[in-house]
Amino acid sequence: MGYTYRRRRRSGPNWGLILSLVLVVGAAAYFVPQYLNPRPVPPLGGDASPAVAAAPSPMPTPAANRLIEAGDQMAGGHWGAAADIYGDVARSNPSMAAAHAGWARALVYANKASEAVSHAQRAVELEPRSAEYQALLALAFDWSGNPDRAITSARRSAELDGKLPEAYAYLAEAFTDKFRMKDASDALDKAIAAGGRDNAEVLRVQAYYLESNADYAGAVEMYRKAIEKAPERSYLYLSLGHALRAVKRYDEAIQSYQRASDLYPQDARAEGGMGQAYYAMEEYASARSHLERSLEIDPNYPTGWGQLGWVFYVQKEYDKAQPYFEHAVELEKDPAKNAAYRHALGWIYMNIKQYDKAKTEFTKALQENPELDGARQGLQVLESEQAPSR
Report which of residues 380 and 45 the model is more confident about: 380
Domains in the chain, CATH or no CATH each: 64-128 (1.25.40.10)
First to last CA, the chain: 162
pLDDT of residue 180: 97
For residues 220 and 210, give the distance between their C-alpha atoms in angstroms, rounded to a whole number.
9
Indicate whether 86 pLDDT > 90. yes
Indicate whether 388 pLDDT > 70. no
Which percentage of the chain shows pLDDT scores above 90? Answer: 81
Indicate whether 128 pLDDT > 60. yes
pTM metric for this prediction: 0.80
For residues 118 and 108, give the distance between their C-alpha atoms in angstroms, rounded to a whole number.
11
- Give 181's pLDDT tier (boundaries 50, 70, 90): very high
Q: What distances in angstroms separate CA 361 from CA 129, 216, 321, 358, one per listed residue?
A: 48, 32, 15, 5
Report which of residues 39 and 207 the model is more confident about: 207
What confidence tens digit (pLDDT) does each residue in 10-68 have? 444 444 444 444 444 444 444 444 433 443 433 333 333 344 444 444 545 689 999 99
pLDDT of residue 333: 87
Average pLDDT, the chain: 87
Residue 195: CB partners within 8 Å, gap ≥ 6? Answer: 163, 165
Instruction: Write the DSSP string, 174-215.
Output: HHHHTT-HHHHHHHHHHHIIIIITT-HHHHHHHHHHHHHTT-
Indicate whether 2 pLDDT > 60. no
Query: Once rounded to an integer, what is the mean pLDDT over residues 230-251?
Result: 97
For residues 241 and 258, give the distance between their C-alpha atoms in angstroms, rounded to a whole number.
9
For residues 251 and 267, give the distance between their C-alpha atoms in angstroms, rounded to a whole number.
20
Indicate whether 76 pLDDT > 50. yes
CA torsion 239-245-247-251 (nearest 10°) is 120
Indicate whether 121 pLDDT > 60. yes
For residue 309, which of 334, 286, 297, 291 has the smallest C-alpha distance? Answer: 291
Report which of residues 33 and 167 the model is more confident about: 167
- The count of residues in the chain is 390
Query: Once rounded to an integer, what is the mean pLDDT over residues 140-148?
Result: 97
Q: Which amino acid is at 121?
A: Q
Indicate whether 202 pLDDT > 80. yes
Report which of residues 345 and 14 the model is more confident about: 345
For residue 350, which of 379, 372, 321 has the smallest C-alpha distance? Answer: 379
- Give 201's pLDDT tier (boundaries 50, 70, 90): very high
Residue 134: CB partners within 8 Å, gap ≥ 6? Answer: 124, 153, 154, 156, 157, 160, 167
Report which of residues 98 and 21 the model is more confident about: 98
pLDDT of residue 235: 97
Least confident of 79-83, 122-126, 243-247, 331-335: 331-335
pLDDT of residue 292: 98
| Residue 18: CB atoms within 10 Å | 10
